[in-house]
Structures are given as structure tokens and as C-alpha cells.
């Protein structure tokens, strides 16, 4: 199987951006969605760096994914209903 070259610093910046986005949306109606994005980004980054010898980055990926899942569970995102603007029906968000 071929190996994929990964720029560790760019990957770290991607994780930082995803984390900042999640923090920016904390408490907003979009928080559950953004937490799902953070978890997915952290998991993908982990897949890219796993086995690279960069244990610190691997642990960061795992911790970010776990933190996103824990916060998602705290908010009970799967059952939160959010009202749209007047005239629209309520809908259930699932991230």
C-alpha cells in the first residue's frame, strides 16, 4: 500500500481552525452541527497521522474528537429542536 505524505504543521492548523470555529459557535443554534464537524475533522486528521511517529498529534486528534463528542452529548443534540423563522416548522437537528 502506498503512503500518503502529510504536512503535520498544516494538519495542526486545520485542527486549530476547527477548534476555534467550535468555540466561536458555543451556545449558538449551530453548535451541534459544528461539534460534528470538529469530531469528523479530528478523526480524519487522526487517520492521516496515525502511525507517523507523531504521538503528540495523534493524542491531540483523539482528545479533540472525544471533547466534541462529550460536549455533543451534554447538549443532547440528537433531540434538540430548533425553531426556524416565523412561518416555518420546527425541525430536529442531527449532527
- What's the pLDDT tens digit per position in 56-65? 999 999 999 9
For 10-60, write each residue's pLDDT tens digit: 999 999 999 999 999 999 999 999 999 999 999 999 999 998 889 999 999
How confident is the model at residue 6, as a pLDDT?
Answer: 84
How confident is the model at residue 79, as a pLDDT?
Answer: 61
Give the whole-angstrom CA distance, residue 72 versus residue 76: 6
Evaluate if pTM is beyond 0.85.
Answer: no
CB half-sphere exposure, 91, CA atoms < 13 A:
10
Amino acid at each position: 500500500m502506498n503512503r500518503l505524505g502529510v504536512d503535520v504543521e498544516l494538519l495542526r492548523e486545520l485542527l486549530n481552525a476547527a477548534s476555534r470555529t467550535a468555540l466561536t459557535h458555543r451556545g449558538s443554534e449551530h453548535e451541534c452541527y459544528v461539534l460534528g464537524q470538529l469530531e469528523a475533522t479530528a478523526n480524519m486528521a487522526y487517520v492521516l497521522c496515525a502511525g507517523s511517529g507523531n504521538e503528540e498529534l495523534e493524542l491531540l486528534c483523539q482528545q479533540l474528537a472525544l471533547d466534541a463528542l462529550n460536549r455533543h452529548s451534554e447538549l443532547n443534540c440528537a433531540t434538540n429542536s430548533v425553531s426556524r423563522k416565523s412561518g416555518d416548522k420546527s425541525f430536529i437537528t442531527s449532527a
